[in-house]
A and B are shown apart, each in its own frame.
Chain A
Amino acid sequence: MTSEVEHSSVKQQNHLVPRTIWDKLYLSWFLVCFLMVWFGTWAVNKPIPIFGMPLVYVWCSGWGIVWLSGCLYFGLKIDKDDAADREN
């Protein structure tokens, strides 16, 4: 209980603010890819085949894979940094 009361006097941290460069890159990558699918799709809304598939489908799926791959990379970097910090 003592530690709880002690902690309540510590200034509250804002968890919405990214801490490290990798946090910022994760968030930026997330937003860019999200916007590409959310708004960008309307710019490619044409009945054109790409590898035999509709352009809208290829655009969304392609950005989905880019989105996942990039965030996986940055997320693993965040994990690695966190692990190193905890060891120190």
Chain B
Amino acid sequence: MDDYFKVAPGFGFLVLYLGIAGGFHTAFAIPGSMGFYYSHGVAFAANVLWTVFTPLGVIYFIGTRITCLGRKFNYITPADLIVDYFGDGKFRAFIAIYVLSCCIPLMTANVTGPARLLASGTDGHIPYWAALAIMGIMVIIYVTSSGIRGVTWTTVVQAIWMFVAVWGAAFWCLMLIDGDLLTLFNTIKETEPALLTLPGPQGLATPQWWTTFPVFGIALYWAILPRGFMFFYSARDVATTRKIGLTVGFYLMALYLPSMVIGFTAFHFFPDLAGSDADNSFPLLLATYAPAWFAGLIVAGGLAAGMSSMDADTNANSAMLTKDVYASFINKNASDRHYITVGRIFVVALVLVTVVAAAFDWGLIVLMIGVTAAMITQLLPAVIAVTVPMGVRFTKAGITSGIVAGLIVALTALLGGRMFDFGLFQFIVPNVLPESWTRFDASFLGLAVNIPITLIVSQFTPEPNRENVARIRAALDEEFRPRKNQRE
């Protein structure tokens, strides 16, 4: 398992840099970001708050510590790190199932965007269901055959390709409007000036949204997704992760810069699209105006964005099902070879679930990503408790209570007032939070409840095993506080 779900010798800087750069991007990059500019204008400039905050804050500070502990104690899954500190047993199952249930909505949402791009970009010659099937089969082939190695190497190519595709598309858009950036600006100013300022034409980017969504809804959860853990565990050493934290933001930010030109150009040509049609504005632009060969290149970039995260998520989730559920509770003493075979079966099962779920028109893509973000963000206190010694008491009961309370509040904020129609029955989720609260991002509201409850419950419940805590802290001190250790 050690060299299938993660890379035992570790990847060096360049491969892991591009692996993380590509693996972090989803269908939100292509065509989502262009659709966002189309609908909400410069509000998408908020992306700087996650494309820079995540590498310089979360990867540099937390990711390096995950690499340190993962390499030292040979962790494979996110639950390995958390239960090594807080204690194993049912808590492992709780963390693993919780994380898995977070990721299925995200995987479904991620595969939907690129499949739509392929269907629209080929003018329907490849139907939506066939696009889903093509992506699913490709991911199954290379993830089952080579695990994290296949994921990372394909993601390297995908990262390069999506970057070329986005920038190429932006220059093509400028040629299409037969002008420069100022021409585009003036065109938008004449037709829909609200796109050029906050909160945007639909009023999305309020101060409450701006100050909570980019940071709590994306930056703080992005890097602690299971795929993030697998990349950090697969770094050759702490220095590699540290260098990636310092530099990968240049790639992440630069990938989104051309989206404005593409989104505004799409608005210029098709100003009346709404809802999911707005998300399809870029594929529509390609299908209408681009030569077939060029549209093909760009669509490949979009597929790269979706598949680069789908494969990484599939590998990480398969690792959790195998190590945290199957090997911990169902078959504890099997050979490594057996576990890898089981892992491959889980890969196939996960891809099938994702593709089948994406085949239905849920109309809830944004909501599904929001659910994942809100759920994963609630793990942040647990990850920080393990990786950042700070003299604050954290216990298993405290962490569990915080996660549950935070999750209830976050999901209530996300789903409150929504009606779900399942054909035979319908139900409306009660809206119990004050309306003024729900203007803030759900992940933020969840954390605002999670953290105090974690701290309060931790004061009155048994501490984790002292030897485990000391062992983990010694490893962190040795790596991150070496001089002070020597003085002591």
Q: Which residues of A contact B (CB under 8 A)?
A: 1, 3-5, 7-8, 10-16, 19, 30, 33-34, 37-39, 41-42, 45-47, 49, 51-54, 56-57, 59-61, 63-65, 67-68, 71-72, 75-76, 79, 82, 85-86
Q: Is the CB of A19 within 8 A of B181?
A: no
Residues of A within 8 A of B184 (CB): 52
Q: Is the CB of A7 within 8 A of B474?
A: yes
Q: Is the CB of A30 within 8 A of B56?
A: yes
Question: Given A4-B470, A19-B484: A67 and B260 within 8 A (CB)?
Answer: no
Question: Given A16-B388, A68-B52, A71-B246: A61 and B45 within 8 A (CB)?
Answer: yes
In the assembled complex, the Cα of A76 lies from the Cα of B248 at a distance in Å of: 14
B480 nearest in chain A by CB position: A15
In the assembled complex, the Cα of A37 lies from the Cα of B51 at a distance in Å of: 12
Q: Is the CB of B185 within 8 A of A13?
A: no
Quick check: which of B8-16, B129-137, B249-257 contacts chain A, the rest being far away?
B249-257
B242 on the A face (CB < 8 A): yes
Q: Is the CB of B391 within 8 A of A37?
A: no
Q: Is the CB of B242 within 8 A of A34?
A: no
Residue interface bits B446-488, CB-to-A below 8 A is 1, else 0: 0000000000000000000011011101101100111111001
Question: Given A8-B466, A79-B242: A56 and B247 within 8 A (CB)?
Answer: no
B334 on the A face (CB < 8 A): no
In the assembled complex, the Cα of A51 lies from the Cα of B211 at a distance in Å of: 27
Residues of A within 8 A of B185 (CB): 49, 52-54
Question: Given A47-B193, A54-B185, A56-B42: A42 and B198 within 8 A (CB)?
Answer: yes
- Min distance, Cβ B178 to any Cβ of chain A, angstroms: 14
- Contact residues of A: prevailing secondary structure: helix
- What are 26 pairs between A and B in contact, CB < 8 Å? A4-B470, A8-B466, A11-B488, A12-B391, A12-B473, A15-B480, A16-B390, A19-B483, A38-B210, A42-B198, A46-B197, A52-B182, A52-B184, A53-B185, A53-B260, A54-B42, A54-B196, A54-B260, A56-B197, A56-B198, A57-B45, A64-B253, A68-B253, A72-B247, A75-B60, A75-B246
Question: Given A8-B470, A56-B197: A15 and B388 within 8 A (CB)?
Answer: yes
- Contact residues of B: prevailing secondary structure: helix
Residues of B within 8 A of A42 (CB): 198, 207, 210
Of B49, B196, B197, B239, the contact of A38 (CB 8 Å cutoff): B49
B468 nearest in chain A by CB position: A4
Residues of A within 8 A of B51 (CB): 64
B4 on the A face (CB < 8 A): no
Q: Is the CB of A67 within 8 A of B390?
A: no
Chain B residues numbered 47-69 whose CB sits less than 8 Å from any CB in chain A: 48-49, 51-53, 56-57, 60
Question: Given A15-B476, A41-B210, A63-B48: A71 and B391 within 8 A (CB)?
Answer: no
B183 nearest in chain A by CB position: A52
- Min distance, Cβ A59 to any Cβ of chain B, angstroms: 8
Residues of B within 8 A of A64 (CB): 48, 51-52, 249, 253
- Min distance, Cβ A43 to any Cβ of chain B, angstroms: 11
In the assembled complex, the Cα of A19 lies from the Cα of B162 at a distance in Å of: 39
B352 on the A face (CB < 8 A): no
In the assembled complex, the Cα of A3 lies from the Cα of B477 at a distance in Å of: 13
Q: Is the CB of B389 within 8 A of A82?
A: no
- Min distance, Cβ A4 to any Cβ of chain B, angstroms: 5
Of A1, A15, A52, the contact of B481 (CB 8 Å cutoff): A15
Q: Is the CB of B196 within 8 A of A56?
A: yes
Q: Is the CB of B180 within 8 A of A57?
A: no
Residues of A within 8 A of B249 (CB): 64, 67-68
Residues of B within 8 A of A4 (CB): 467, 470-471, 474
Residues of B within 8 A of A45 (CB): 197-198
B357 on the A face (CB < 8 A): no
- Min distance, Cβ B263 to any Cβ of chain A, angstroms: 11
Residues of B within 8 A of A56 (CB): 42, 45, 196-198
Residues of B within 8 A of A79 (CB): 239, 242-243
Residues of B within 8 A of A14 (CB): 389-391
B245 nearest in chain A by CB position: A75
B189 on the A face (CB < 8 A): yes
Can you name 17 extra interface pairs (CB under 8 A) apart from A54-B260, A64-B51? A10-B477, A10-B485, A12-B391, A15-B389, A16-B388, A37-B49, A42-B210, A49-B185, A49-B186, A52-B184, A54-B185, A56-B197, A61-B253, A65-B253, A75-B60, A75-B246, A85-B483
B215 nearest in chain A by CB position: A38
